[in-house]
Amino acid sequence: MSELTDATREAIDAMDYMTLLHRWRYEPVGSPWFAGEVGSYMSLRMLELKRELGPAKAAEISKLVDAMETTPVRNRERISG
């Protein structure tokens, strides 16, 4: 999947900033979404959307993405931290 196809480009273009950011943070290491041409395109698309949103809205979305992550380890960190 590291080669960027039209279908992959369309899939990335259809994702909003929140979806892209969630993938960026929580996909496993070595995910094909972040390799080769696909990874480069996804990075550029995220930057483009972040610029459109502006710093305040991007920060708000970042906090929402963190709040959405509900794995037991993260919940324990929130409770103990």
Q: pLDDT by residue (tens digit) across 3-12?
A: 899 999 999 9
Which residue range forms the structural domain that includes residue 26?
Answer: 6-80
Is 68 among the domain residues? Answer: yes
Alpha-carbon distance of 81 to 77, in angstroms, equals 5
pLDDT, one tens digit per residue, over 39-61 is 999 999 999 999 999 999 999 99
Number of domains in the chain: 1
Q: Say whether pLDDT at 77 is over 60.
A: no
Residue 69, pLDDT above cutoff 80: no
Comparison of pLDDT for 10 and 70, the residue scoring more: 10
For residue 53, being part of any structural domain is answered with yes
Indicate whether 76 belongs to any domain.
yes
How many other C-beta atoms are found inside a 10 Å radius of the C-beta of residue 64? 12
In a domain, 41, yes or no: yes
User: 1 in a domain, yes or no?
Assistant: no
Q: How far apart, in Å, are the Cα atoms of 50 and each of 3, 40, 42, 54?
A: 24, 15, 12, 6
